Chain A
Amino acid sequence: MILNIIYWATQRKWLLISLFLATVLYLLPTPQGLTAAGYHTIIIVLSTILLIIFEPIPLPAVAMLILVFQVLFGIATPNQVASSFMSDAVFFIMGSLMLAVAIVSQDLDTRLALGIINITGHKTWRIIAGFVAVCALLSSFIGEHTVTAMMMPVGLTLVRHTSRDPKKVAGLTSLILFSIAYGSAMGSIGTPSGGGRNVIMIGYLSQFGMGNLTYLDWMKYAYPILLIEIPLAIMILWWTFRPEKMILDSAVRKLKVQVARSGQITGSQITAMGVFVLVFLGWVFLSPKIGLGIVALMGVVLYLAMGLVEWQDLNRNTNWGVIMLFGSAISIGIQMKDTGAALWVANNVIEGLQVITSNVDFSRSFVSIFLTAGLTNILSNAATVAVLGPIVLNMGGNAVMVALSTALASAFAYLTVVASPTCMIIHSSGLVKPSDYLRAGWKMTVMSITVLLLFIHLFWPLMG
């Protein structure tokens, strides 16, 4: 009995620490300039961050805890909590997780493999360039994890056809896997549908009445950044991970033979691609009126109605806990704004940064770019936007630009395994080490931040 209690306490120590922290903060007097409700909201956010990072309890439990605390601390009524829990951004996250399953289950990976190889030929550097470019361009529309899931088998099959002994192709393996992961992560900035966090930010903007960003507007600002980053990322990866072979002719030949076995493209594959084109057109033309999430759900309905995917498959591979978590995170984000907590934190941060500089523009960029890029590597990219979004939007300046730069910086999740789904997916292959992320990641981070700063200060002002 005692042993079980000791064990439970050691396993759940981060739950105990976060509850302890919350209790201590609760007992302290409310800081000046902050309402009780605002202070309690901040307490919930801080303890939730610990629970998301260390996962001492299942995520759905964290999600429900956020909702329960909002009511218990008197921040909002049950019905207010319930209505802030569901939003178009949550619909989008739910829809995009399901679209991923629907697309991945079409076995389009073999088509993709053939397409890339036919264009790139058998030189290693060309194949790597092809991987980064294709991953980045595709993920900007269909989401980073969908592309990583489809490209991983292609990349690893090439590696396996090169040598059966992983030690002999360690450099090539890292090069290919990071081309896929970083290419996809980079691509996710291109359009709102590249990642759930982009939609969370758009949701905050419109919910707080601070502005609107359409699908095409987003592309206009973000896509050029993506296009410039592609060649730079290829060079960084090539210089960081040296492949053992400069030509993969026999591996490419074997891959072609393997892919040829899957036969001609099928009718359902063509239909599946057609449905996605419709979804894309919906995002571009309909979403300003009906929302990005609703369009994603329409796509899911189409896939189901046309029998292109089974509900059982969707249900099995959709992580409902994640959907609940983002529902709760956005809900508490809205309370951050409504209780004035976000404004209070924003003012204090800007005031605190005056020790370094009195330039408010610099302070704003520091939080929206550097702090976001740092936190994204610890907390995950989407959760970072959910937490920091309301704060950066309250720091003044052009809200749309601040929203964009924060959402874009959250994609600079290159340094750790836990930074993004793509980083975690390539790590699950057991073939890359956490230190590999640092080796290539810091260069990618410096490059991405530099390009983003150039755009914010030079090009975006010209675009109006």
Chain B
Amino acid sequence: MKFLLAVSSQEFSESTLRMGSKVAKSFGAQLAVVYVGPKPKELYAGRVSLARDTLAKWEIYHPGIEVLRWAFDDLKTSGFLENSDDNGFNPLNMVEEKDRYRMALPGSYGQDIDLILREGDIIDELRRECSEDEYTVSIIGGSKGRNMAHDLLQYLPTSVLVMKNVNLDHHYRILLCVDDSSATDRAVRFGATIAKQMNFPVTIMTVSKTEEFGPGYSGAAEAASQHLESQQVDHEQKFITGDPVNSFIETAGEDHLIVMGSSSKSALAKFFLGSKPMKTLEKANCPILVVRDK
């Protein structure tokens, strides 16, 4: 299993990296840390690269390399990577591969993480990155971009964990949103794994627009509860009548990690009408993991 984690700078990505790497660790997943920076206008790209070559001779590197250096050091400090004497990080080991740069890391570092540098539009570059490797989850910091929620869920082929408003000192609860969609099953398993490894209690929440909870809903809630039971995860169950998205947001507040399955609507329907996960992701004020079916 391999997770993709996007960083932009130490200032904006610190909490994403810390919490994201913990989540990756709870799955025993490898981590690819990718820096996506702005791409120079094509009209000037050659001249910018000439200037960069000159700077590199003076050991002044691409700003993305400095961000990756910080991420690498932080992963060693936080214990995600083994802290050996061998530093391992060397800008001269950045290898150009098709449309990205990847650092060749020595020894066990190379098995645990990948450090990747890309330039361009964030969604486009993450999509390209996902075509390079089999990623299960993409982790990204919360952004105020209006269409970000839509684009992430529509165009990335992986599950998506968005680190909105993360407080590293906070002990989160997981809000596991359960319904009859086909991705719920996998969302429950993902939620249970994180809860167990990170010791987060779980609230299983099923929301129906009507007073009645159909067999699909109650069956999914029951299955979720059984799975958490079998994993010995501390949990409670809630059945609420009302608007699902608003109910999720209100219950989650700022102290939950929302976990939910992705929508099974068609791409066209999602493009024009949106979906429950998209709206929840857009409005949520806490970290949220939207799990894909496969």
List residues of chain A with CB under 8 Å of any chain B CB: 2-3, 6-7, 11, 52, 55, 58-59, 97, 100-101, 104, 107, 109, 145, 148-150, 152-153, 156-157, 160, 317-319, 321-322, 325, 380, 383, 418, 421, 424-425, 427-431
The answer to whether B55 and A152 have CB atoms under 8 Å apart is yes
Residue of B nearest to A60 (CB): B42
The answer to whether B57 and A145 have CB atoms under 8 Å apart is no
The binding surface of chain B is classed by DSSP as: helix
Q: Known interface pairs A2-B267, A317-B50. Does A156 touch B55 (Cβ–Cβ under 8 Å)? A: yes
Q: Known interface pairs A317-B53, A424-B40. Does A157 touch B60 (Cβ–Cβ under 8 Å)? A: yes
Q: Known interface pairs A2-B266, A2-B268, A6-B268. Does A145 touch B58 (Cβ–Cβ under 8 Å)? A: no
New contact pairs (17) apart from A2-B267, A317-B46, CB-CB < 8 Å = A7-B127, A55-B42, A58-B42, A59-B42, A109-B58, A145-B51, A152-B51, A156-B58, A156-B60, A322-B43, A383-B43, A421-B43, A424-B40, A424-B41, A425-B44, A430-B37, A430-B63
Among candidates A3, A55, A107, A322, residue contacting B46 with C-beta atoms closer than 8 Å? A322
CB of B112 closer than 8 Å to a CB of A: no
The answer to whether B51 and A428 have CB atoms under 8 Å apart is yes
Instruction: Tell me the complex Cα distance, A421–B66, Å.
Output: 23
The answer to whether A150 and B54 have CB atoms under 8 Å apart is yes
Complex contacts, A380 vs chain B, CB 8 Å: 41, 43-44
**What sequence of 0s and 1s flags, for each residue 33-75 of chain B, a beta carbon within 8 Å of any chain A beta carbon?**
0000110111111111111111101101011101000000000
The answer to whether A149 and B50 have CB atoms under 8 Å apart is yes
What is the CB-to-nearest-CB distance from B191 to chain A, in angstroms, rounded to a whole number? Answer: 26
The answer to whether A157 and B58 have CB atoms under 8 Å apart is yes
The answer to whether A59 and B43 have CB atoms under 8 Å apart is yes
The answer to whether A153 and B41 have CB atoms under 8 Å apart is no
Leading 8 A-B pairs by shortest Cβ distance: A430-B63, A319-B46, A153-B58, A3-B267, A149-B51, A145-B47, A424-B44, A421-B47
Instruction: Tell me the complex Cα distance, A149–B64, Å.
Output: 19
Complex contacts, B50 vs chain A, CB 8 Å: 100-101, 104, 145, 149, 317
Instruction: Tell me the complex Cα distance, A180–B40, Å.
Output: 18
Residue of A nearest to B63 (CB): A430
Using a CB-CB cutoff of 8 Å, which residues 124-159 of chain B contact chain A?
Answer: 124, 127, 154-155
Complex contacts, B49 vs chain A, CB 8 Å: 317
CB of B271 closer than 8 Å to a CB of A: yes
Q: Known interface pairs A59-B42, A153-B57, A160-B60. Does A100 touch B47 (Cβ–Cβ under 8 Å)? A: yes
- Provide 17 A-B residue pairs closer than 8 Å at the C-beta atoms, listed in order of the A residue: A3-B267, A6-B267, A97-B47, A101-B50, A104-B50, A149-B50, A152-B54, A153-B60, A157-B58, A317-B46, A317-B53, A322-B46, A380-B43, A424-B44, A425-B48, A425-B51, A428-B48
The answer to whether B54 and A149 have CB atoms under 8 Å apart is yes
Instruction: Tell me the complex Cα distance, A425–B121, Å.
Output: 19
What is the CB-to-nearest-CB distance from A259 to chain B, in angstroms, rounded to a whole number? Answer: 10
Complex contacts, A6 vs chain B, CB 8 Å: 154, 267-268, 271
The answer to whether A7 and B155 have CB atoms under 8 Å apart is yes
What is the CB-to-nearest-CB distance from A165 to chain B, in angstroms, rounded to a whole number? Answer: 12
List residues of chain B with CB under 8 Å of any chain A CB: 37-38, 40-55, 57-58, 60, 62-64, 66, 121, 124, 127, 154-155, 266-268, 271
Residue of A nearest to B271 (CB): A6
The answer to whether B44 and A421 have CB atoms under 8 Å apart is yes
Complex contacts, B38 vs chain A, CB 8 Å: 427
Q: Which of B45, B48, B127 has the largest count of A CB atoms less than 10 A from its CB?
A: B48
What is the CB-to-nearest-CB distance from A6 to chain B, in angstroms, rounded to a whole number? Answer: 5
The answer to whether A428 and B52 have CB atoms under 8 Å apart is yes
Complex contacts, A429 vs chain B, CB 8 Å: 55, 63
Complex contacts, A424 vs chain B, CB 8 Å: 40-41, 44, 47-48
Among candidates B40, B54, B63, B154, residue contacting A109 with C-beta atoms closer than 8 Å? B54
The answer to whether A3 and B155 have CB atoms under 8 Å apart is yes
Complex contacts, A160 vs chain B, CB 8 Å: 60
Instruction: Tell me the complex Cα distance, A415–B79, Å.
Output: 45
Q: Known interface pairs A3-B154, A7-B155, A148-B51. Does A318 touch B46 (Cβ–Cβ under 8 Å)? A: yes
Residue of A nearest to B52 (CB): A428
Complex contacts, A59 vs chain B, CB 8 Å: 42-43
The answer to whether B271 and A11 have CB atoms under 8 Å apart is no
Q: Known interface pairs A3-B267, A11-B124, A430-B63. Does A153 touch B55 (Cβ–Cβ under 8 Å)? A: yes
Complex contacts, A7 vs chain B, CB 8 Å: 127, 154-155
Instruction: Tell me the complex Cα distance, A109–B37, Å.
Output: 27
The answer to whether B41 and A319 have CB atoms under 8 Å apart is no
Instruction: Tell me the complex Cα distance, A59–B43, Å.
Output: 7
Residue of B nearest to A101 (CB): B50
Instruction: Tell me the complex Cα distance, A353–B206, Å.
Output: 66
Instruction: Tell me the complex Cα distance, A160–B60, Å.
Output: 9
Instruction: Tell me the complex Cα distance, A150–B50, Å.
Output: 9
Residue of A nearest to B266 (CB): A2
Instruction: Tell me the complex Cα distance, A224–B47, Å.
Output: 28
Among candidates A156, A157, A319, residue contacting B45 with C-beta atoms closer than 8 Å? A319
What is the CB-to-nearest-CB distance from A369 to chain B, in angstroms, rounded to a whole number? Answer: 23
The answer to whether A421 and B60 have CB atoms under 8 Å apart is no
Complex contacts, B41 vs chain A, CB 8 Å: 55, 380, 418, 424
